[in-house]
Amino acid sequence: MTVSIRQLRDKLCRELAQSEQSAAVHCEREARRYGAHPPGHVLRAIASHAREMRAPLSGVIEARQPFGARVGRAVGEAFSAIRHFAADRVIDAERSYRATLLGVRHGLDVARLLHEVLLQQQDARGARTCDLLIDQRSQLVVDAEAALRWFARNPDVALHSSTSIKPQLRLS
């Protein structure tokens, strides 16, 4: 194993820990804004999946990067808090949703690259864990993309600050 592939693996492990923490925390926060409407359903499913993947991923990430995983999760929590208390208050609801979806896609890309790195390192167990995340999360991303239609049917909600959605929601 070369030093560079090890460094790449370590970096990706930290980045995946950060991304998964953000998926668990931020998707749940964002979901509360949409209640029982389609964007809320899919974001709760993504947050739940991120929490479910925490234990399997810890064997991949923390075995190699125990400190890095903690740092990655702390950074993910910090980014989610900053976004929640600052950015989400000034951007409209559909943009906030799309930004959340962008973060989820980013984590999926990190998992895909980490999968390839683990295969090069002949870590079949770690690669299978990444496969599990990729397969399940990919379907959730498809569902999240389909939920974008809800904003087209609710333009009055889509264009308002994401913190002021709930009073305006209507069933559609």
Chosen CATH of 3-164 out of 3.30.1490, 2.60.40, 3.30.70, 1.20.1260: 1.20.1260
The per-residue pLDDT for 87 is: 53
How many Å apart are CA 47 and CA 23, to the nearest integer?
6
- Count Cα atoms within 13 angstroms, Cβ side, for 16: 32
Residue that is written with structure tokens 């167990």 in the block: 125
How many Å apart are CA 33 and CA 65, to the nearest integer?
34
Q: What angle do CA 5, 61, 67 make, to 5 degrees?
A: 100
pLDDT digits (tens, 9 = 90+) for 24-82: 999 999 998 888 999 999 999 999 999 999 999 998 887 665 555 556 556 556 655 55
How many Å apart are CA 131 and CA 84, to the nearest integer?
30
How many Å apart are CA 78 and CA 72, to the nearest integer?
10
How many Å apart are CA 159 and CA 92, to the nearest integer?
5
The mean pLDDT of 9-37, rounded to a whole number, is 92
The per-residue pLDDT for 25 is: 93
Q: Is the dihedral of CA 30, 34, 37, 38 positive or negative?
A: negative
pLDDT digits (tens, 9 = 90+) for 92-110: 889 999 999 999 999 999 9
Q: Which residues face 161 on adjacent strands?
A: 92
pTM here is 0.81
The mean pLDDT of 150-169, rounded to a whole number, is 72
How many Å apart are CA 91 and CA 122, to the nearest integer?
44
The mean pLDDT of 85-96, rounded to a whole number, is 70
How many Å apart are CA 137 and CA 117, to the nearest integer?
19
Q: What share of the chain has pLDDT > 70, as a percent?
A: 75
Q: What share of the chain has pLDDT > 90, as a percent?
A: 65
Domain ranges of the chain: 3-164
